[in-house]
Amino acid sequence: MKLNNVCLENYKIFYGKNILRFDNGVNVIEGKNGYGKTTIVDSIFFALYGKKNGDIINNFAKMNNERFCRVSIDFEHNGDKYNAERELSDNGEKFYLKINSNESNISVESIIPERAACLSFFDGESISSVVGYMENMDEMLGVAGLKAVKEDVEKLKKRLELTLTGTGKIKNFFRKMGEMKAVKKLEEKEKKIKMKISHEEKRINEIGYEVSEFKKILKKEKELDREERERGKLEKRYNELVDEEEKFKENMAYIILKDELEKAVENINKKKDEMLKERIKQGRINAQEELLTSILHSGRCICGTPVSTSNYGKHEISLLLENLKHEEEKIGKIKDFYMSSDDLVSALEKVKVSINPLIIKNEKEKIEIVLNKKCPPSKMDIVLKNLNEKRVEGKARELRIEELRSELAEIKDMIEEKREKIKTNKKWKTLKKIKNAERLISALDEIIEETKRLKKIETEKKASSILRTVTNKPREYRGVDVENMNIKNVSSELSDGEKHVLALSFLGGIKKDMVVIDMPFTRLDKTHKRKLLKKIPSLAEQVVLLDTDIDEIKNLTENVYHLRHDQERKVSVIT
Amino acid sequence: MDDIGKICEKHGLDKNIVDEIISCGSVKEEEKRLKKISSLLEKL
């Protein structure tokens, strides 16, 4: 807690509005005895807790028909800003509280208990009384908050227990706890199986992707395979064409021969005609010659039955042969001429009908283009093997998932069964909370003790340091014993002055947010006072000193207030 | 782990929730405070 403003209006000796503004660091209020120093401290407790001693409305105000008094305080606590205002009049007492500018109807006691606030206000006359026994040590050591939480938990536990009837429920609770543990174990198992299934499913997805990729490859390989087969067919066809071409080349002679023979026959006929015409002219023509002519004209004499001398005259034959010989020199293939007529005719017909050299050539060229193209060998077998392996793995994993799912279903049933058992007790949650509250209370006991221990060590260290600096017996007084609120290893009784020094050292060790000390140096000798003055700013973040003589302490700060008294009106004012 | 953490572990309590319960001390209204502590006890 830290004070910001205190406004007193018609409170006890103070008439009218009197305002005090406090800063961090040291604040001083100077006033002679009876001028109202202690009244200021009283007014704070009146505003916060409604504490009042006797008649608190200023007499002069009453005389002026102002029959009320009011104290308003602005303060900070745990990061919140508060304004507490209390008014007393003939109409009774009124109290207002604002927290961070919002009106609230809760009491200050629930925010800062009075016993805790008291630890920030000391009277120099009685401060030494803390030695030997420190009331509310827990508040001082900062564990009061923890103790309050523990009390809350205990209260809550009792309330929860009241909602249950009979001790059988408590016994049942422990049985349920066992079942809960079993459920937890099953849940862990369930989690593991789910993870396994998820892993298998992930792998199956991967396999699915790999299979689809293999299928794409397989499609390509199939095309390659088809191409290979096509090429085989083309190669076969090509070979056939080569054979046909060879055959054609052989038969080419007949074609040429036929053409040439026709020409030869034509020439012979021509010559024969000329000879006939000559012979007719000369009157030498006969029947044999006519026959020969007709044969010659038919052209079959060449490819038919070999010309016989029996039917034709020697002269005509030799003439014909001579002509043929002449033709033979041109065509150079006359030997075929002596083949049987049937063979030759059929050969000629065949060549003429089925063999077209241009068609062969074109087809051959087309096939050559295809066959000359580069075509990689098909790897379909390998791809098929990989694909099958993947499919087998996928199937195995699917089976594994089925197994796991069946196991999972069993576990789920078991969990459901156990949960159903637990749910049958509607007060399960209450029981669980009670058990947890028990554990928490035990833990809080230990936490409080541990916090106390640590805070004691810290406080003793700081307080001892101050004591050693300010005491007149630095060799004798080694340190402060916080537990017993005394000086360590000192058997002799301390004087009031020494107790005063010890108490202030302890305050410095605790270092609260605020400390208000009325007459801080009472009973202290000059040496102690001089040494303590230096330590005053370190006693708390905000120190308020009230004293009759401030010659020495006024140098600690500029925030100094003076109390003045009007003897006639019997009122004090703050300046 | 600090000493308070060790104490919580010893009692099988979640330190974060214990801290939350301790911080409930700053809740000014008692019923609100108890309600909050009660809900935290369930989680503990």
Question: Tokens 């833990």, residue?
Answer: A443
- Checking if the pLDDT of A520 tops 80, the result is yes
Looking at residues A45-59, what average pLDDT do you find?
Answer: 87
CA pair distance A28, A18, nearest whole angstrom: 16
**pLDDT tens string A468-483:** 888 888 877 878 888 7
Whether B7 and A433 lie within 8 Å, measured CB to CB: no
pLDDT value at position A220?
83
Asked whether the whole model's pTM tops 0.90, one would answer no
pLDDT value at position A509?
86
**pLDDT tens string A328-342:** 454 433 333 333 344
Angle at B20 between CA B14 and CA B23, to 5 degrees: 145
Identify whether the C-beta of residue A305 lies closer than 8 Å to the C-beta of residue A341: yes
- Checking if the pLDDT of A399 tops 60, the result is yes
Residue contacts between A and B (CB atoms, under 8 Å): 73
Q: Provide the mean pLDDT of chain A.
A: 78
- Checking if the pLDDT of A548 tops 80, the result is yes
- Checking if the pLDDT of A405 tops 60, the result is yes
Looking at residues A495-522, what average pLDDT do you find?
Answer: 85
Which of B3, B15, B21 to probe by mutation at the A interface, max A CB count within 10 Å?
B21
Report which of residues A285 and A370 the model is more confident about. Answer: A370
A chain contacts of residue B20, beta-carbon cutoff 8 Å: none
Give A 130-189 residues with CB within 8 A of chain B. 145-146, 148-149, 152-153, 155-156, 159-160
Report which of residues A363 and B32 the model is more confident about. Answer: B32
Any B CB within 8 A of A1 CB: no
Whether B42 and A145 lie within 8 Å, measured CB to CB: no
pLDDT value at position A18?
92
**pLDDT tens string A145-168:** 899 999 999 999 988 888 775 545
Residues 6+ apart with CB under 8 A from A34: A565
Whether A152 and B25 lie within 8 Å, measured CB to CB: yes
**pLDDT tens string A203-221:** 888 888 888 888 888 888 8
**DSSP string computed for A36-75:** SHHHHHHHHHHHHH----S--B-HHHHHTT--EEEEEEEE
- Checking if the pLDDT of A360 tops 80, the result is no
pLDDT value at position A298?
42
pLDDT value at position A300?
36
pLDDT value at position A182?
77
A chain contacts of residue B11, beta-carbon cutoff 8 Å: 439-440, 442-443
Looking at residues A124-153, what average pLDDT do you find?
Answer: 80
For B41, the closest of A104, A111, A433 (CB atoms) is: A433
**CA-based nearest residue in chain A for residue B32:** A152
Any A CB within 8 A of B5 CB: no
CA pair distance A450, A394, nearest whole angstrom: 60
Identify whether the C-beta of residue B24 lies closer than 8 Å to the C-beta of residue B36: yes
**Residues of chain A above pLDDT 70, percent:** 77
Helix (H, G, I), strand (E, B) or coil at A424: coil
| Min Cα separation B41/chain A (Å) | 5
**Residues of chain A above pLDDT 90, percent:** 18
**Where residue A83 falls among pLDDT bands split at 50, 70, 90?**
very high
**Where residue A271 falls among pLDDT bands split at 50, 70, 90?**
low
Which of B2, B11, B20 to probe by mutation at the A interface, max A CB count within 10 Å?
B11
Looking at residues A550-554, what average pLDDT do you find?
Answer: 80
Any A CB within 8 A of B31 CB: no
Whether A149 and B25 lie within 8 Å, measured CB to CB: yes
**pLDDT tens string A246-262:** 776 665 544 544 555 56
pLDDT value at position A544?
92
Whether B28 and A443 lie within 8 Å, measured CB to CB: no
**pLDDT tens string A6-18:** 999 999 999 999 9
Whether A446 and B12 lie within 8 Å, measured CB to CB: no
Any B CB within 8 A of A437 CB: yes
B chain contacts of residue A436, beta-carbon cutoff 8 Å: 13, 41-42, 44
Any B CB within 8 A of A422 CB: no
**Where residue A408 falls among pLDDT bands split at 50, 70, 90?**
confident
- Stretch among A186-195, A326-335, A374-383, A541-550 having the lowest mean pLDDT: A326-335
Is the Cα dihedral A246, A250, A253, A255 positive or negative? Answer: negative
Whether B41 and A450 lie within 8 Å, measured CB to CB: no
**What are the backbone angles phi and psi of residue A421, rounded to the nearest 5°?**
-60, -45
Report which of residues A312 and A337 the model is more confident about. Answer: A312
Structure tokens at A555: 């140098």
For A304, other C-beta atoms within 10 Å of its C-beta total 15
CA pair distance A153, A139, nearest whole angstrom: 19
Whether B34 and A155 lie within 8 Å, measured CB to CB: yes
